[in-house]
Amino acid sequence: MSIGIVRLRNAVFYAHHGVMQEEHRIGGRYEVDVSLELDFEPAAREDDLTKTVDYEKVYVVIRDIITQNKYFLIERLSYLIAHRILERESIVLSAEVVVRKANPPVGGPCDCAEAVYKAIR
């Protein structure tokens, strides 16, 4: 078996997560990267989407988790996304998810906070 990686990088959403009540009310920008390990050699050899991961479906998983609920922690978001992908995409061997929160409320200048989580089948 060979291992390949399929990535979605910098999927951007506006959502309402955070510990502070203001974050839930006002919302903010969230960015997500996903790296999926799988054996896509059969798909590559045959040019067949049914033998690899459909990244449009993966994007929908990310979008739904980020936009349909409110959570306190970006750690929770990365955890949920990784496990939902593994549940829905049986060909995926591992899912690494990075969730970035732009301009986190840390009391000074900071581009983003990020949580990285890797789930392995």
**What is the C-alpha radius of gyration for the chain, rounded to an integer number of angstroms?**
16
Each domain of the chain, given as residue ranges in start order, spans 4-120
Active site residue 101: yes
The arrangement of strands across the sheet holding 112-120 comes to 4-15, 28-38, 92-102, 112-120
In DSSP terms, 118 is beta-bridged to 96
Q: Each residue of 82-94: pLDDT tens digit?
A: 999 999 999 999 9
Instruction: Tell me the C-alpha distance between 16 and 68, whole Å.
Output: 9
pLDDT at 21 exceeding the cut of 90: no
Catalytic choice (51, 57, 70, 101): 101
Q: Each residue of 50-102: pLDDT tens digit?
A: 999 999 999 999 999 999 999 999 999 999 999 999 999 999 999 999 999 99
The CATH number given to 4-120 is 3.30.1130.10
